[in-house]
Structure 1
């Protein structure tokens, strides 16, 4: 591998001297708990989110009801980012003709191993939405007035042929889900503007997922000299340091690539969101637009605003494991409120509360199992429920609830309307979803032992 020199540009535009350490070492410290196994590997099964399927391919996952709530919300959130960009949502094929030269050339420029079917007419399984989006763009008969044109796909079924020893739980799989945006713009200047806009939207996932990112920008030395001022402006807009990977020569289809990195349970950096600037692919796939009655190649911006849904989920589990009271953001919690009736006499009141909360799009369940109150409280803690309420005689008589805010371990008296307002504040601007299993725990099948 060719030697790459690295340096850091700060949000104020200052440049730090070259460093040889890992690209995130100057801006992000690895977790103290980093070891030989990522925390999400055990948490995903222990908490009933995801497990391995013994009949599936190596590392293949099956998603359980609690995990499906989170996965659904992550997918909806990724789509909301695409909606903010006013994208055109499409759906494209999974397999492509390996004999097409533009397809095979694009595969060779991508730094991953690909699945290819056997037989008389071999096919590539897609590694992203690239092929389908490029074939769509080349047939649109675009004009300069129509640009930029943005295509978005929530690609279920994206494939990388990882070796069996390389598959790592949720962070490195052979099949995954990838939100993918491709934007055609008129020229390099517009491409840089679009790049910054999409980079800023992708960075919003840092707060939404309660993570901490390090940013790495890759390009060759000549491109850096030409874009030096723009790189400083990018760091200022994103208000984060950016580590530069300066490559001696162009090695990929992209000319500029921004990676959003998190430190996984191994202490290694793992890529989530990406934004790329690409002027090579348009000629390979003959993507053009009409300008002054002449056909002209546009510039492409590639963006996955979250990275794969599976990796985003893994990152949140790994981060949660580092906290004293592990938690997800309230909007991503599979259950947001749990009601624990002291006895059968309090069940109807819990059902009334649940019905009202559900009308406000709150995910609420009732632990009506034949267990002691203490054991049911412990279960709410184990399930990372952000708000849980024990309902007894006093709550029924006084119409006041003793709400435990789990992350802080604080109990306070609230009227139901106040609790609704607190949850509204915590979830405002984010998508909602319903439970993926029965409201009552007594009616559920256990998935946390698989």
Structure 2
């Protein structure tokens, strides 16, 4: 593995000092012959996000031709051709196309890096990110992103250049009478700080999970052994982040599964409760019917007392006796069913309480696992940053002594940098 490389540029319809205009950039991206003399065997670009280069150019040129800005007097005018209207980003993966074509594992790693990079670009540019293409006809695996601010008043692409925006803000904050040289120095420092933060954002979101370092060995004058140790550390950090991600995903899956199971149990319990309610209603109707039968039997007995003669009274008593037996039989038949339904309803309630408790415990365990994974990742990043800072404060002689004393120690070496643009 190697180190990250990502670069941004903004262009206008008018060519700059190097002859680069938006038309040239689109021509180079689409591999037109007049703009591709640096490529030995040009191949069509591969669209990995959004639309193709031709569609982006048409979108840009149409919007730029009609874009206007407000001027004094309440008037408007078309934007000048030297206005920056196209923002581009190029990111490269430290593997040659030959290696990627020959090794499926390296291709998988490069494509995973590509997905992370596109995700990072989308988070920064949102809907203004119109296209991301991959060139496979050059030495290294790399992609180009094209950002067109069609909805921005004046179609200013410089709003996406963090260094330029920070420098402008610093210059605008200058007080009246402030030394221009000091103000310019402060603005330059703001530019460099903003660009470093832009690079750091990409490092945390893409480089770390891809096993890449923040800077290369030559920029910091590292020896081969020091560079090898730093690459080993970057790979180890990638492993920590991957494990934390897997733990978080497993916790989420466990929570989802537990919620699904609990929901299924609640649904089944609801259905069982509905059945129990129906049975309870039937039992209530049976009791009412039995009570009605008892009342009818009582009425029959009352009528028997009014019968005249011994035969009539005997007949009335027999009828009353028969109706009383009927009421008793109904009560006996439904008593067992009522008791069974009451016991069943009680069991369902107990199951609901037990499953709810198990779901709450499972969610608690999953949340704790997620927090532990995130704390582990944060601790690893903080440890690396603090160690780099402490190590960078040491004089070169002391650094060499430490490297000789602990040759197996995995250490990221960062020099004290007097000036750094990103």
Shorter chain as denominator, the TM-score bin is under 0.3
Larger radius of gyration: 2
The structure, 1 or 2, with the larger RCO (C-alpha pairs under 8 Å, 6+ apart) is 1
**TM-score computed with the length of structure 2 as normaliser:** 0.27
Structure richer in strand, relative to its length? 1
**TM-score computed with the length of structure 1 as normaliser:** 0.26
